[in-house]
Structure 1
Amino acid sequence: MSREAVEELVQVIAVTNRIPVQHIPLEKKVLFSLWVLGKQESFLSVGDRFGLAKSTAHYIFKQFINVMLTLLPQYIRWPENHREAIRQFHERSQGFPGVIGAIDGCHIPIKQPRHNAHDYYNRKQFHSIILQGICDHRMMFTDIFIGMPGRVHDARVFRNSDIYNQIINEDNPLIPQDMHILGDSAYPIMLNVLTPFRDNGHLAADQLNYNYKLSCLRSIIERAFGRLKGKFRRLKYMDVSDPIFGTDIIAVACILHNFIIATDNDDEEFDFEDLPEEPVDEDEDDDLEIENRNQGVQKRRNIVNILRN
């Protein structure tokens, strides 16, 4: 994060007038909080580095988190115009039409929660909070849904998110019929959510070509998560036993992720390693989703034909 970006962030926070300066300058509070998010050091260690008592350090960090949360609608919002994203994704894939972003889930490791610890224990055998994110061609998050326990399947997380209800809203759909986001096979195929063909070893060449192009484009969300965890290493393991506060920390990291891209135009990328995708659970489909899925299957066939030509 450049010095200029830090200075701009300080100004943005100052305008909110929600962090009292008191005897500690606002810039110092912001730098301290960014250091906490960017490193895996203890509060005691970071407090010593900044000349702060442990209790004061905790108080300042919670202040920072609460103020940054008020900025979420400003920095993470659904685009009104998708033309640039469609153009960029189309060029990168040499022909895949209508793509406006990619969706995936990411497990953020946390300390064992005091309550309902079993729910947060995922299949990789650690406790986690799930971050569902959608990003555009710049790796900027256009939607996030955070807080579901690590034991929950990606498809169920998706169905519980606001974005799902907005997508299936027939009266006022969020995404036009000719546009879509890309997901892996853990997600249900829908009119506006395209997923790969299940590779059973008997896919046709056209289907394999579709899967390859979709996978290349969909990797943008994995790289976004990689950048997020690379910039804010506190997310590699959060020593937080309160999932609600942990959820707030993750949200603030996502806000800062977008702020940095918008301010620094930072193209740095990081390696990403997360849980492998799961097969989608199709037992929960209702009539509306079945109809939507059929429309998605037909759209996928149409795109296979487009990519063939």
Structure 2
Amino acid sequence: MQLLVCLRFFATGAFHKLIGDSFNVSECTVGRCCRAVANAIVGVRSDFIEFPKDHKARETKQEFLKIAGFPNVLGCVDGTFIRIIGPSENEADFVNRKGFHSLNVQMVCDAKFKFTSVCATWPGSVHDSRVWRESALCRQFEQGEHNGFLLGDSGYPCRRYLMTPYLNPATDAQQRFNASLCRTRVLVEQSFGILKRRFACLQATLRTNPDQAATYVVACVVLHNIGIESGDVMDKGCDAADANSNQADHQVAYNAQEGSHMRDYIANTYFG
């Protein structure tokens, strides 16, 4: 019964009162059920949210290569806003650049719309580049634990392991590089769309504190990955909010020199 109550909340995002009426339990009981089940699901996140290594990394690169010919890709990274009610503490920190309260959730997806990394602890006002810089996955790439690239939008700085598009492509090779990167990177936006349509609570407003909201987000991602592994793939159209994430106010310009050199090398070698 607790599991069904929690799944009803994830699938609809309805008020606890309404869910309680449908199960003939109290509003407080619904809240306790949702928290207990979500915490249990998050407790096994490492079994279902795992960045590819070894033979899985090789398979992931081959799957990405088939999409648009971009070589050596391990995943696509982006952030998405998850609406929450204004918290009682540090309320201003959670107001994002679009003017509403949210978490800024960074995720990495593979070529099958499965999420391989999730960071859901940051307020909505924090820029994508900082979320990435402070993440455990960034440290792993900096330490050379992964051999491959992530693809990001212009909200991320270009690094030797993180490829972003040219803001002003000057050659045909750079234009083909951009086209291949964007056709591949759109998978993360499609993955967000699948996730939010499957779990409507992530499209609505999570009426809880930021820590509990983050737990709900991660629990939904675990269930999403289980669905992907079982072959349950929903329509993969982009979510409207995520499709507009690559706007001018979202761009940064502090690319590392080694990242720019690596980007030029890929453009000239593979797309020249």
Q: For the superposition of Structure 1 and Structure 2, which TM-score range results when normalised by the shorter chain?
A: over 0.9
Aligned to 1:280: 252
**Equivalent runs, 1:6-155 vs 2, <5 Å:** 28-80=1-53, 81-93=56-68, 95-155=69-129
Deviations 1:34-66 (A, max 9, x none): 110010321111111112111211111111011
Q: Partner letter of residue 195 of structure 2? A: L
The 1:267–1:43 alpha-carbon spacing in structure 2 relative to 1, beyond 3 Å, is: closer
The 1:233–1:265 alpha-carbon spacing in structure 2 relative to 1, beyond 3 Å, is: closer
Secondary structure of the residue aligned to 1:103 is strand
TM-score by length of 2: 0.92
Query: Which 5+ residue runs of structure 2 have no aligned equivalent?
Result: none
Q: Contact 1:114/1:241 (CA < 8 Å) preserved in 2?
A: no
Rg larger in 1 or in 2?
1
- Residues 1:187 and 2:162 aligned together: no
Secondary structure of the residue aligned to 1:145 is strand
Aligned to 1:308: 271
**How far has the Cα of 1:305 moved from its partner?**
1.9
Secondary structure of the residue aligned to 1:264 is coil
Alpha-carbon distance in structure 2 between the residues aligned to 1:241 and 1:41 = 13
Aligned to 1:10: none
Percent identical among aligned pairs is 28
**Equivalent runs, 1:283-302 vs 2, <5 Å:** 293-302=256-265
Aligned to 1:175: 146
Aligned to 1:247: 214
Q: How big is the alpha-carbon RMSD for the aligned residues of Structure 1 and Structure 2?
A: 1.6
Alpha-carbon distance in structure 2 between the residues aligned to 1:256 and 1:54 = 24
Alpha-carbon distance in structure 1 between the residues aligned to 2:32 and 2:271 = 58
Query: Which 5+ residue runs of structure 1 have no aligned equivalent?
Result: 1-27, 283-289
Structure 1 ranges of 4+ moved more than 6 A:
none
Deviations 1:238-257 (A, max 9, x none): 34241111111111111111
TM-score by length of 1: 0.82
Alpha-carbon distance in structure 2 between the residues aligned to 1:59 and 1:229 = 23
Q: Partner letter of residue 165 of structure 1? A: R
**How far has the Cα of 1:267 moved from its partner?**
5.0
**How far has the Cα of 1:222 moved from its partner?**
0.5
Q: Contact 1:104/1:134 (CA < 8 Å) preserved in 2?
A: yes
Aligned to 1:9: none
**How far has the Cα of 1:265 moved from its partner?**
4.1
**How far has the Cα of 1:281 moved from its partner?**
5.8
Aligned to 1:286: none
Deviations 1:273-298 (A, max 9, x none): 2252311263xxxxxxx8xx333222
Number of aligned positions between the proteins = 265
Aligned to 2:140: 166
Q: Contact 2:52/2:60 (CA < 8 Å) preserved in 1?
A: no
